[in-house]
Amino acid sequence: MADGVLPAALTVAFLLLLGTISAAHGQLQTGFYSDSCPGAEDIVTAAVQEAAASDATILPALVRLQFHDCFVRVGCDASVLITSAGSAAEVNNNKHQGLRGLDVVDRAKAELEEQCPGVVSCADIIALAARDAIAMTNGPSFEVPTGRRDGLSSNVRDADVLPDVSDSIQVLRSKFAASGLNDRDLVLLTAAHTIGTTACFFVKDRLYSYPLPGGRTGSDPSIPAAFLSELKARCAPGDFNTRVPLDRGSQGTFDDSILRNIRAGLVPIASDAALEASNATGALVGAYLGAASSSFAQDFVGAMIKMGAIGAITGDAGEIRDECSAFNTN
């Protein structure tokens, strides 16, 4: 995995997987733009590279953007990019707090409209940008099925279903299942937190207002003492903006370190730590640190592709937006 490229045997497996995705979702397939806009994927890659050259933190942000687009009720349709609907737009839901990367998608879209007007959807740009971001952080390189079209609605309440950092493992499993994702997908997509940081805002409740017996509040007792001191030193009471690594010691590189930190209790947000609270998800974490370690990258890609097909609009439904932030007016 050092060079981020999947070996040939895994490539064959992925071609089979992608064939299944294509069959199940109509025109969702690899190389969808090979004739209509041959340079589409290169244009998106160039936009991501340009953004990362000045700010490497945009890479995990782009992965998060795809999750936030796909996991809402309507699925992977670029509804999260709409700003023209005012306060009623999905992006204004508090679950999207701190969402970044929309400008990178906009820049890629502008270039694509110059080269191939009315061809490449904003939903596909999100998926391709997330793929590129993973590869650029030493993660696996892989083909993304494309052919999504953009949705025609963006409702602020649609994002209520997004997982929350305070969700229990039972709630997380239920939310993933509602989107057609299983326990393995939950573990693997959580592992995307191998890159990036989180704001103290999302950690503070574990540190200072965790419910304790007798109606008291304090620190989450499952956090190892040394790590608790480390987090409190970074996230003082009332500090909501300082950022801490999601994957302690390996925040800039895609690897399985996040799983080791989850197993050791060394993750800042409660929803990551919650994987150890279920025998099912805990066993999967252990498996990827042991006998199944060699398939971690392959399985992660499979989970990303599966998530990227949630609610995908294909064929003649939806639209290809002229600008990603606004519905077409004609």
Phi, psi at 80, each rounded to 5°: -70, -15
Whether pLDDT at 160 is above 70: yes
In this structure, the strands spanning 243-245 and 210-211 are unpaired
Structure-token pair, residue 120: 């490449």
Domain spanning 169-307, CATH class: mainly alpha
Q: What percent of the chain has pLDDT over 70?
A: 92
Confidence of residue 5 (pLDDT cuts 50, 70, 90): very low
User: Sign of dihedral through CA atoms 199, 204, 207, 213?
Assistant: negative
Alpha helices (runs of H) in the chain, residue ranges in sequence order:
8-24, 40-54, 58-70, 102-115, 122-136, 169-178, 183-190, 204-208, 225-234, 257-264, 270-273, 279-288, 296-307
For residue 79, say whether it is annotated as part of any ligand binding site.
yes
Q: What is the rounded average pLDDT of the residues 105-118?
A: 98
Whether pLDDT at 1 is above 90: no
DSSP 124: H
In this structure, the strands spanning 197-199 and 243-245 are antiparallel
**Residues with catalytic annotation?**
68
pTM of the model: 0.91
Q: What does the pLDDT read at residue 319?
A: 98
Select from 215, 328, 222, 217 the least CA-distant residue to 269. Answer: 222
For residue 96, say whether it is annotated as part of any ligand binding site.
no
For residue 286, say whether it is annotated as part of any ligand binding site.
no
273-309 residue pLDDT tens: 999 999 999 999 999 999 999 999 999 999 999 999 9
Whether pLDDT at 93 is above 80: yes
Confidence of residue 26 (pLDDT cuts 50, 70, 90): low
For residue 255, say whether it is annotated as part of any ligand binding site.
yes
Q: How far apart are CA 66 and CA 108, in angstroms?
A: 15
Q: What is the rounded average pLDDT of the residues 180-191?
A: 98
